Structure 1
Amino acid sequence: MDVWHQNYLPFDSVGLSALAASGPIILFFICLAVLRMKGHVAAALTLALSMLIAVAIFHMPLGMALASAFYGFFYGMWPIAWIIVATVFVYKVAVRSGQFDIIRSSITGLTDDRRLQMLLIGFSFGAFLEGAAGFGAPVAITAALLVGLGFNPLYAAGLCLIADTAPVAFGALGIPVIVAGQVSNLDPFSIGAMAGRQLPLMSVFLPFWLVFVMDGKKGLRETWPAALVAGGSFAVTQYLTSNFLGPELPDVASSIVSLVSLGLFLKMWQPKMAFAPAVSSGGAAAFSAGGAGVAGGFGGAGSPSPYSMSRIVRAWSPFLFLTATITVWGLGGFKALFGPKGLLAATTLSFHMPFIDRLIIRGAPVVATPTPLDVVFKLDLVAATGTGIFLAALIAIVFLRMPAKTALGTFAETIRELRRPILSIGLVLAFAFVENYSGMSVTMALLLAKTGSAYPLFAPLLGWLGVFLTGSDTSSNALFAALQATTAHQIGVSDILLVAANSTGGVAGKMISPQSIAVACAAVGLIGRESDLFRFTLKHSIGLAVIAGIITLSQAYWLTGMLVK
């Protein structure tokens, strides 16, 4: 089959070309934010339009467009959907085995304030899961835990998506930063260090933002000490580890320090009035007012748990096993077992995608010389993060002595409940892959690059766009890091800064990525409510992206002492 060179400018005008390329994204926004369609319907319509534009305007061969869509759909099934199925299964094992009441008691024993529970689970614990696993597992796990504590499902999902902003750039043991270095030919350590001089400014602010979303100015007045401990300890550790140890450890170290610091602080301090409002089973309304007061100042806490420490540890065992397995699955030595010469290499099956593997040529300005794209689908049966999570569920089933019949029924129920979200994830990835392999995503990036000296303000928006399309900061960096470096040289600013900005801006796009929205809805039982969740997170995503742009612009021209030399 003949090769095909990506065509970034089907029209003489960059603006017109970018407008055509953005058509599917505009449609998707309208379907969810205005028309409030169900996720899988919006994704199907967007996929159809993306293929039409790719073929008719960008002159992508129809066979390649179809192959790109199929590749994206399969990638949505594995590893993404597999992660979600395994994660929800772990949660259901904890519930069906009768352990969740004890889990709830152990958390409320530390604090019965909803705002502080969000900081503990959504922010600190979620960041640990992002650092160890990523790919949707953090939001699925933390949102499900919060719903089990009595949170409104929509707010649990939305707040956890917002909370997942801080750790995304260093997620999965620093893989996004490492990939950014590979494609831009820059030192990953330097890129991580630069990101570590941007993200802490957002990390220290994020817990305050979460509290404000939940309870407005009143919440900030009542809980600012705890928000400062959670965000401040995370931000300081994030800066130190990224600048002195490398990009692999910031999330894991920062989250542990934040979790321990906040937990110890809450042993000594509680707000004067606990925020424990009545919540409904669904809907888009905010938490209603109300809640019982508890002793404030130093020494106050929630009601002590009536369970022994051994009972509490046993109840938490599914999530402890999950933490252990995803940590092992993320270690370099374990990953090496599945490499070309590894002992378990045979468990990874590779399929060269017909019609597109090395037949699509990426050209300037994305790469210096025309480069064929390797398109290989990997069915990593054991190495996939989802398999590690599923193993945690099996260990928990044995440890908790859950009857085999109950366990099988629970897994079957999980599959049944997730059928529609899995379809949504597959369709979303199909449309994203058509956008990427047709070159349309690059066309939109070229329009932003035309902003000249103002470009540092828009550089994070490019990362934001990449994460929206792919659901992954790693994929966004693979797509746009080289373009960021090239544009930096053209306008005379730090290339390390703009490549890092691609990651720091990308974190804001995670909460509105269709993939993330589908995952979060699946985890909390809001199947078909993707539009509500999208509308909830959109304004927060745009706000954080603008903040990242202002930080990058300031560092490019005025706060140059913050740059990595």
Structure 2
Amino acid sequence: MLWTQVYDPFSNITLSAMVAMLPLAILFYMLAVRRAKGHVAAACGLAGAFAATVAVWGMPAGLAVNATLYGVAMGLFPIIWIVLTAVWLYNMTVESGEFEIIKSSLARLTDDRRLQALFIAFAFGAFLEGTAGFGTPVAITAAMLMGLGFSPVYAGGICLIANTAPVAFGALGIPVIVASQVSGLDTLTLSQYVGRQLPVFSLIVPLWMTVVMCGFKRTMEVMPAIVVASVCFSGTQFIFADWHGPTLPDVMAAIVTIVGLLVLLRFWKPARTWHFADEKPEAATGETRHSTGEVLRAWAPYAILAVFVFFWGLGSVKTFLNNIFIMSFEWPGLHAAIAKTAPIVKADAPYAAKFTFNLISAGGTAILFAGLLSVPVMPGYGYGRAFGCLARTCYQLRFPILTIVMILGLAQLMNYSGMSSTLGIAFTHTGALFPFFAPIMGWLGVFLTGSNTSSNALFGSMQHATASAVGVDPYLTVAANATGGVTGKMISPQSISVATASTHTVGQEGALFRFALKHSIAMTLVICVLVTLQAYVIPWMLPAR
């Protein structure tokens, strides 16, 4: 027997939305005010959501438990699988001593923390986001920055800020492709619309990130590098989004940015090298010299990683690997047991719940293979030590794993109960102001699910329908859902957990959340204003149709 979702249990959408916000408010309160550990905050939020879904939205308790377990499974795979293998690869480079050579080589290129952040957090992180996504860039780059001498909170926070620029085109464009599928809009045209929003935002991310690190005065000392990074990245992102589609904007933008910065540093250096005031003296030194062969060997694991995640992201490779092994099944007791109703769908329809276990084609498996192939490259580091390192990494990540699975459980519980749709419907009642609120829906969706792809799947169709009803270009608001979602990524509890896990600061999720929250809100408002201007003041920015 189908259980039918209810979206307005109080017959007052404003009041219903306020109650639907309670689980999120609990998360905010526990992380930002009580400074609770991530798994404690997630447990409280999940408990609040469970109580609301059963007592207010009328969801049967058995279905609520099942929806939560479905989210837990999605947290374990593929999210935890990516985080576990990414941190394991980093830990091996540290244990083998190769990361000391990486630090030394970066110091020879530039010992300036601002430039290191541009290279690693912004450019290399964008490459990882463009190829793999789903937590990979933050897990890898935050660990690398901490290893270089960044404080753990800054290492995680800087990477979360930098990761906003590529998210909408991450994982070879999957978020935009999914938004196109659920909304019924043309993929290339939607990519062009996102390409009129995200590159504008990407222009300011390197500047924003650097100001957060060192203040405006010290930022001006590296403006040539910031300008090169901004122009190379946003310009390339725009060109490929406009002419090619959603698959390559991030990958190509990251490559062009890295090359541009390398060329710049051959002719220019900052007048003053900058480090954090509280750095230990030994963290700021880079005098050790290593041969070219040693440097190449030390960087080999990350080069191998880049190759694997790139090819694993290609559709043809995914298809080939899935032909070897893939297991997909309808989640027992949940698939088609719940009915969506208007205005979420035009006619009542069962809510699907399918779980896919694509072990070989998963991004985490690409990282695993990269790690296994890297072991022989590390001198004196055999597979015995590598598997021992994997066991230690599992223990290290025990609390982040708990946090992530509960957050995904919370997200799916809110989705299947209809609470997420209640929040979305509330935004649709803003009328002519809807273009301003469209990015906030994307922001909220990513905060809820930790994924721009999931946010677009959740709200893409609603963005289309609402825009058409209020007389706004639906391509604009669907694109805004993807663009607005990039700023929700930095405060998603899932992302926070990944960052604390990779910087060995488990238990300090609240500190990192408070660090990122103000930037997330400010960046979201920037996108809201941009989308509103594109709707009513500067529509010439949008593609001609």
TM range (shorter): over 0.9
Counterpart Cα distance in 2 of 1:321 and 1:279: 34
Shift of 1:254: 0.4
Q: What do the CA deviations read for 1:390-426 (whole angstroms, capped 9, x no partner)?
A: 1111100123252232112211110110111101111
Deviations 1:118-176 (A, max 9, x none): 01100010000000000101001001111111000110000100000000000000000
Shift of 1:251: 0.3
Aligned counterpart, 2:393:
414
**C-alpha distance after superposition, 1:465-490 (max 9, x if no partner):** 00000000000000000000001101
Aligned positions of 1:367-378 closer than 5 A: 367-378=345-356
Task: Give yes or no for contact 1:208–1:227 (8 Å, CA) kept in 2.
Answer: yes
Shift of 1:350: 2.3
Whether the aligned pair in 1 keeps the contact of 2:150 and 2:276 (CA below 8 Å) is: no
CA contact (8 A) 2:103 2:286 kept: no
Q: 1:361–1:370: 8 Å Cα contact kept in structure 2?
A: yes
- Pick aligned residue for 1:471 from 440, 444, 450: 450
Aligned position for 2:234: 235
Residue among 339, 342, 359 paired with 1:381: 359
Deviations 1:442-463 (A, max 9, x none): 1111111111101100100000
What is the CA–CA distance in structure 1 between the aligned matches of 2:276 and 2:525, rounded to whole Å? 32
Give the Cα separation in 2 of the matches to 1:511 and 1:480: 19
8 A contact 1:21–1:440 mirrored in 2 = yes
Q: Please give the alpha-carbon distance, in whole angstroms, between the structure 2 residues aligned to 1:246 and 1:64.
A: 39
Partner of 2:46: 47
**Is the Cα contact below 8 Å between 1:110 and 1:304 reproduced in 2?**
no
SS in structure 2 at match of 1:485? helix
Pair 1:126-2:109 in alignment: no
Q: Which moved more, 1:468-477 or 1:366-375?
A: 366-375
What displacement does 1:352 show?
1.8
Matches of 1:319 and 1:69, distance apart in 2: 35
Q: Equivalent residues in 2 for 1:108-127 (5 A)?
A: 108-127=107-126
Deviation at 1:551, TM superposition (A): 0.5
After the TM superposition, which residues 33-432 of structure 1 pair with which residues of structure 2 at under 5 Å, given as runs?
A: 33-279=32-278, 306-339=289-322, 342=323, 344=324, 347-401=325-379, 402-432=381-411
Q: Which moved more, 1:90-99 or 1:528-537?
A: 90-99
Displacement of 1:204 after TM fit? 0.9
What amino acid does structure 1 have at the position aligned with 2:471?
G
CA distance in 2, matches of 1:511, 1:453: 29
Which secondary structure state, in structure 1, belongs to the residue aligned with residue 339 of structure 2?
A: strand
2-structure distance, mates of 1:379, 1:279 = 45
Amino acid at match of 2:339: I
TM-score by length of 2: 0.97
**Cα pair distance change 1:41/1:378, threshold 3 Å:** same
Asked whether the 8 Å contact 1:165–1:510 carries over to 2, the reply is: yes
Which residue identity is paired with 1:34?
Answer: V
Distance in 1 between residues matched to 2:321 and 2:328, nearest whole Å: 12
Moved over 4 A (4+): 302-305
Question: 2:383 and 2:478 mapped to 1: Cα distance?
Answer: 50
Matching residue of 1:482: 461
Of the structure 1 ranges 187-196 and 349-358, higher mean CA displacement relative to structure 2 is found in 349-358
Q: Does the residue aligned with 1:450 lie in a helix, a strand or coil?
A: helix
Displacement after TM superposition at 1:371 (Å): 2.1
Letter in 2 for 1:415: C
Asked if structure 1 preserves the Cα contact closer than 8 Å seen for 2:199 and 2:237, the reply is yes
- Cα deviation for residue 307 of structure 1 reads 1.9
Render the CA deviation track for 1:24-55: whole Å, top value 9, x for unaligned.
00111000000111110110111111011011
Q: CA deviation at 1:373?
A: 1.9
User: Is the partner of 1:350 in helix, strand or coil?
Assistant: strand
Q: What is the root-mean-square deviation of aligned Cα atoms in Å?
A: 1.6
Inter-partner Cα distance in structure 2 for 1:7 and 1:303 = 61
Instruction: Give the corresponding residue for 2:416.
Output: 437
Letter in structure 2 aligned against 1:365: P
Give the residue type in structure 2 aligned to 1:448: F
1:542 aligns to 2:525 (yes or no): no
Letter of the structure 2 residue corresponding to residue 131 of structure 1? G
Aligned 8 A contact 1:93 1:318 in 2: no
State the alpha-carbon separation in 2 of the partners of residues 13 and 534 from structure 1.
32
**Which whole-Å CA distance do the structure 2 matches of 1:436 and 1:563 have between them?**
32
| Corresponding pairs, count | 543
State the secondary structure of the residue aligned to 2:77.
helix
Aligned 8 A contact 1:208 1:220 in 2: yes
- SS at the partner of 2:484? helix
What is the identity percentage for the equivalent residue pairs of Structure 1 and Structure 2?
47
C-alpha deviation, 1:276, in angstroms: 1.7
